[in-house]
Structure 1
Amino acid sequence: MKAEVSHQRLLLELTALDAELSRIAHRSKTLAEQKRFDELQAEQRAAQDRLAVLQIAVEDLDGQVSRFESEIDGVRQREDRDRSLLESGTVNPKQLAEIQHELETLERRQASLEDSVLEVMERREELVNQQAVEQIEIDRLNGEVATAAQARDIALAEIEQTRSVAGIRRTELAQTISADLVAVYERQRTSTGVGAGLLQGRRCGACRIEIDRGQSAQITAAPEDDVVRCPECGAILLRFTGIGS
């Protein structure tokens, strides 16, 4: 296959643009700003999960307090009933002794329940304090996530702008090169990732492998407009020092 030397020179620029577009694509996938955003989001979710767990624990303690208070109310009502009976003067000595014993038991039960309520309320206060700490952390992370998102969006916009400029230039350039030459280049690029490479001495600029002397002599002796392929990787070998040389 033959192609004008000027078209082969343009192919060198096309190769450079494709390499730049590959670097842009890689950077967009490994963006430091995106990594930082993802890390902060993970911290944010973890803090929100911790806060949710604390809220469930507080609600559980509130339920315990309600049950204890309900039981205390029941004990107090029983005490009030027993005292009313004592004050009525209608109970016999045996009933009197039983009621007095029950009152003592109820008093001990009420004291125990009230102690339990205090313990639960102390635990609840600890959890509420932990909630406040977690909320402060979440507020901080919310701000950092917003800042990180902005930095990521700016970086992505810059990448997209660079990608757009390079893509437009590539489209324009490809249209000025022989369609047959571009087709060979694209097939090779699809196959190995690099369609062409500058021949530097005996080294292929695409695969970086040094060509043996016999094959190198044949390549050097080939007419300028011959489209020469690397015997190692198949890339188009561009046999000049660069654009404008």
Structure 2
Amino acid sequence: MDGFRPPRLQELPLNADPSAQLVLLDLQGQDATLAQLAHRRRTLPELTVIAELEQRAHELDSRRIELQTRVDDLGREQRKADAEVELVKTRRTRDEERLNSGQVSNPKDLESLQHELVALERRIGTLEDAELEVMESLESAETELAVVLEDLAGVAAEITTHAVTRDAAFADIDARTTEAAEERAVLAVSVPDDLLALYEKLRTQYGTGAAALRARRCEGCRLEINGADLREIATKPDDEVLRCPECSRVLVRTAESGL
């Protein structure tokens, strides 16, 4: 590799029983399981679906508020129009009663009253047309609001369904996480503190802290160890903690190392 090259084996004077070194592989396995579980918990398909549904629900609710405001405004407008029509009709009725009662005998007053009745009739027609227009707008808004409320209820039901699936998956993942964490804790106890500290440091840096040497290949970086490094590894005592010359992870020798 060009440029950076990890520390050579002899630069790390750390010793640990071979069995403790092998435990690192089991520890790494539990850490990999924990990482996979955490990733699965973060990336459950239900989370994406729920987020999309919640966004849809937010949009529908915004539309619901707009439509409800329009329905309320139109309702007030209709009540106002109804009151105006009734007011003019009351006045028309009063004038008709005056006209029919014979109380108005003066021709000029009689003509004026008849003109007013004609004007009131036109006014009633105009107001009723406006009232009808408001009623039609109100009916349309109420219909659209009903559709939005139905869609909103449907989305809420979908969210609930997916939330049940999500919570069940969370419960399963959390149970497995607890089990793996407990197994990891048991394994960690059997690893010397200095070796465990090195492992944790490397795991923080590289994602994995230890890897097996199998068939002359580091299972951490998946690279084959060259002949010179393999010969050097073969000369090291069994209890010496080795590092991969390519990726710097703790390199654990196994029966399948190919040395």
Q: TM-score, normalised by structure 1?
A: 0.88
Q: Report the counterpart of residue 98 of structure 1 in structure 2.
A: 112
Equivalent residues in 2 for 1:122-201, closer than 5 Å: 122-201=136-215
The Cα shift of 1:145 comes to: 2.1
Q: Does 1:48 align with 2:61?
A: yes
Q: 1:84 to 1:14 in 2, by over 3 A?
A: same
Of 88, 91, 116 in structure 2, the residue corresponding to residue 78 of structure 1 is 91
CA drift at 1:120 = 1.8
TM-fit CA distance, 1:200? 3.2
Identify the range of structure 1 (135-144 vs 119-128) with the bigger mean alpha-carbon deviation.
135-144
What code does the residue aligned with 2:46 have?
E
Unaligned runs of 5+ in 1: none
- In the alignment, structure 2 segments of 5+ residues that lack a partner are 1-13
Specify whether residues 189 and 88 from structure 1 end up closer, same or farther in structure 2 by C-alpha distance, changes over 3 A only: same
1:172 Cα deviation after fit:
0.6
Deviations 1:28-61 (A, max 9, x none): 1001122223333333333333333222221111
1:218: which partner in 2? 232
CA distance in 1, matches of 2:233, 2:111: 121
Residues 83 and 222 from structure 1, CA distance in 2 versus in 1: closer, same or farther, beyond 3 angstroms? same
Paired AA for residue 252 in structure 2: L
Identity of aligned residues (%): 38
Q: Could you tell which deviates more after superposition, 169-178 or 79-88?
A: 79-88
> Quick one: which of 57, 63, 67 aligns to 2:70?
57
Residue type of the partner of 1:14? L
Listed as ranges, the matches of 1:16-55 within 5 Å are 16-55=29-68
Kindly indicate whether residue 118 of structure 2 is the aligned counterpart of residue 115 of structure 1: no
CA RMSD of aligned residues (A): 2.2
Instruction: Report the alpha carbon displacement of residue 82 of structure 1 after superposing the two structures with TM.
Output: 3.4
Distance 1:207 1:93 in 2: 114
Q: CA separation of 1:42/1:241 partners in 2, compared to 1, >3 Å: closer, same or farther?
A: farther
Query: What SS does the corresponding residue of 2:248 show, helix, strand or coil?
Result: coil
Structure 1's 107 and 236: CA in aligned 2 closer, same or farther, altered over 3 A? same
Q: Answer whether contact 1:33 1:155 (CA < 8 A) is retained.
A: no
Distance 1:80 1:241, change over 3 A: farther
Aligned amino acid, residue 163 of structure 1? T
Structure 1 range deviating more: 124-133 or 65-74: 124-133
Residue identity matched to 1:29: R
What SS does the corresponding residue of 1:224 show, helix, strand or coil?
Answer: coil
User: Cα gap change, 1:114/1:175 in structure 2, threshold over 3 Å: closer, same or farther?
Assistant: same
Matching residue's letter, 1:186: E
Residue identity in the other structure for 2:107: P
TM-aligned CA deviation for residue 225 of structure 1: 1.4
Secondary structure, counterpart of 1:238 in structure 2: strand
Q: Contact 1:85–1:91 at 8 Å: present in 2 too?
A: no
2:115 alignment partner AA: H
> Residue 78 and residue 200 in structure 1: after superposition, are their counterparts in 2 closer, same or farther (change >3 A)?
same
Deviation at 1:202, TM superposition (A): 4.2
Task: Count residues in correspondence.
Answer: 242
Question: Equivalent of 1:236, from 213, 237, 250?
Answer: 250
SS at match of 2:80: helix
Matched residue, 1:7? 20
Instruction: Name the SS of the counterpart of 2:211 in structure 1.
Output: strand
Shifted more, 150-159 versus 102-111: the winner is 102-111
